[in-house]
Amino acid sequence: MYVSWGARTRASATVLGAALLIAGCSSSGDGDDEKDGAGAGITQQPKASDPFWVNPAGNAAEQVVAYEKSGKKAEAEQIRKIAEQPTGEWIGVEDPEQEARGFTEAAEKADRTALLVLYNIPHRDCGQYSQGGAADGNAYRTWIDGVAKGIGDRSATVILEPDAVLHLVDGCTGEEFHEERYALLTEAVGKLKTLKNTKVYIDAGNAGWGNPDQIFEPLQRAGIDQADGFSVNVSNFYSTQESIAYGKNLSSKVGNKPFVIDTSRNGNGPYTGGNQDERWCNPPGRALGETPTTKTADPLVDAYLWVKRPGESDGECKGGPKAGEWWADYALKLAKASG
């Protein structure tokens, strides 16, 4: 049975402003010892194992500062587990060129790679918590063009359209939209791969959904041959080992393409209690997973990534705020459960 993935986050104007602000003062060179941004003393991770950029002014970093100012030092140290790891920057709708430029420039100043998530496909999320997306195909093409201009020649890793292929397979997205979506995804991959230093991973489901036999042909139609690989477990909770098994099975059907795994909240695996339909939406008792790195357990796995930003809500369920909004209490529970 298909298990929905929950809602996605998007880059906010606040985070973008912070990224632009620090673009001129982030560390250069290796930068592992330099502290900057938001007053939280956030550092970049060692480049050799984790080449991705840590945003020192993200929601988690701001929460660290807030806890420290209120004397909650223990809570601040827990949230620091999130704040000091690179997480995906979800590009918004209004000015994709400026956002992509801001994040990639800040990453370049720190001698790191920006991790960007593109989530704006028309008819997104089938009317669920993260419904929306571009108004039509031409609007989406214009948006992708803006993202590409913003990235330019700077180093970026792009996770392309969580859910988009999967929702073509599971019947969630209407048949009348299928051909356009395949075309838009293929064009997006092609456009992004014209960039000098950009890697592209098309989203491809998770270990709790269906069978790779059901998705490999749609993934091919979406342009996997042009892409660097695919992503699994985005915003979900399946264990790293389950995700590796699923990814390797799928990889064998699409030319042995490598893949990346979202390990942001999979430390305790998936939630098995309560309502099956909402096990993906702010489930209790979850934990942070393996920290982002390119040193993984399998040569086909290019990286463990935190694509979903831990601590941001999946949607208005279980007392959570709207999808993508910061939820300090949930973030604190994730951090504490990770040990």
Catalytic residue IDs: 125, 163, 314
Q: Give 4's contacts (C-beta < 8 A, 6+ positions apart).
A: 128, 277, 280, 281
Q: What is the DSSP string of 61-96?
A: HHHHHHHHHTT-HHHHHHHHHHHTS---EE--SS-H
Q: Phi-psi region for residue 235, left (φ > 0), alpha (ψ -120 to 50) or beta?
A: left
Q: List the one residue out of 16, 199, 45, 20 whose CA is nearest residue 111.
A: 45
* Beta strand pairing call for 156-160 and 259-262: unpaired
Q: Are residues 243 and 232 in contact, defined by beta-carbon separation less than 8 angstroms?
A: yes
Q: Are residues 241 and 249 in contact, defined by beta-carbon separation less than 8 angstroms?
A: no
DSSP-H helix ranges across the chain: 13-22, 59-69, 73-83, 96-109, 137-151, 166-169, 178-192, 212-221, 240-251, 328-337
Token pair of 107 as six digits? 């990453």
How far, in whole angstroms, is CA 90 from its chain's centroid? Answer: 7
Cα distance between residue 256 and residue 295, in whole Å: 19
Q: Are residues 124 and 132 in contact, defined by beta-carbon separation less than 8 angstroms?
A: yes
Token pair of 22 as six digits? 């620090």
CA dist 28 → 21, 31, 66, 91, 104 (Å): 15, 6, 27, 24, 14
Burial 36-58 (b: 16+ CB within 10 A, else e): bbbebbbbbbebeebbbbbbbbb
